[in-house]
Amino acid sequence: MKKIRIGQSGVSASQIALGVMRINRLDRKAAADLIAAAYQAGINFFDSADIYGAGRSSMIFGQALQDTGIDRDKIFLQSKGGIILKDGQIDGDGLKGQRYDFSKGHLISTVETELSRLQTDHLDFFLLHRPDTLMRPEEVAEAFSQLEASGKVLHFGVSNFSPYDVDLIQQAVSQKLEVNQLQFGLGHADLIAENIQLNISKSPSFDNHVTAFDVLAYSRLHHMTIQAWSPFQSGFFAGAIVDNPQLPELNAELDKLADKYQVGKNAVASAWIAYHPANIQVILGSMTASRIEDAANIDKVKLTNQEWYDLYLAAGYPLP
């Protein structure tokens, strides 16, 4: 599978990555089979977070990874921290936060806990999960420096950060922020739609009160890799787009292109994200090997610009 550079870290990883948020639903054997299938399909980058499954997702992934026998040095492991759950509470697919915490002590202990769950001595990437409005950038800088000096984290990044919040952290830390993980896909393309719709009154196709203006251009200018989370979700965890009866036009377009390129619809939907020149990595969340294997076929989908826009329009986004 095609590899992409992750920021300016020097890491070159598979453009499709596997997010393991939902792996806590699998037993150890099923998790190992899934990881092995993803790796076989060319995926060598795995994303977790301390809160997934209230810690169980990283733990099961760590155990299952050992069972696969995959060489740790052949893959990249990423985790995220900074959200504190209320008593480990899980609410369906969404996790309820009690507060955000970017204190030095919390960030360092989060990484140490994740290393032990994942059964590794280092994270390739560690991200701040969501912007903590109480963040003190100098404290984050101390945490990052200590984590880097101890060899526990090789590279750093953020998730769900606006350009100004990226700047706020970047001016304090000595490490380059390489990644911004953001929700993006055909079911949630506001990152693009908001710029295309610049200065036009709110479109009926999206109702987002938080503007994402310029995150894409900012990330390109600063050589940050955008990682697209929930690439198949419609809206915020409102169900997958593929085969969704509420999205007939989008599915007709996906079907047409899947036929043309002799792949499944997961490959076309993933290729739509990968085609954008902003250097986007797709963080898949499916726990079904056949869907992951299909999505991993992005190299077979040679979209034209027109096909890319056809999918965008079929997803319900307007083009003024």
291 makes contact with ligand NAP (CB under 6 A): yes
161 makes contact with ligand NAP (CB under 6 A): no
Give 25 or 202: the residue with its C-beta nearer to ligand NAP.
25
225 makes contact with ligand NAP (CB under 6 A): no
Cα within 13 Å of Cα(38), Cβ side: 32
77 makes contact with ligand NAP (CB under 6 A): no
Give 79 or 197: the residue with its C-beta nearer to ligand NAP.
79
288 makes contact with ligand NAP (CB under 6 A): yes
Q: Single out the residue of 178, 159, 219 nearest to residue 195, CA to CA.
A: 219
Greatest C-alpha distance within the chain = 54
Least CB distance from residue 295 to ligand NAP, whole Å? 7
Q: Single out the residue of 296, 234, 228, 308 nearest to residue 267, CA to CA.
A: 296
Least CB distance from residue 317 to ligand NAP, whole Å? 18
231 makes contact with ligand NAP (CB under 6 A): yes
Find out whether 173 and 137 touch, Cβ atoms under 8 Å: yes
Give residue for tokens 């020149």: 277
Q: Candidates 144, 229, 312, 317: give the one binding ligand NAP (CB under 6 A).
A: 229
Return the H-helix or E-strand segment holding 283.
strand 280-284
230 makes contact with ligand NAP (CB under 6 A): yes
CA 102 to CA 98: how far, in whole Å?
Answer: 13
Distance of CA 219 to the CA centre of its chain: 15
The 1-40 site mask, x for binding ligand NAP (CB under 6 A), equals: ------------------xxxx------------------
Residue 257 phi/psi, 5-degree rounding, is -75, -30
Q: Which residue ranges make up the site for ligand NAP (CB under 6 A)?
A: 19-22, 47, 159-160, 181, 229-233, 240, 242-243, 266, 283-288, 291
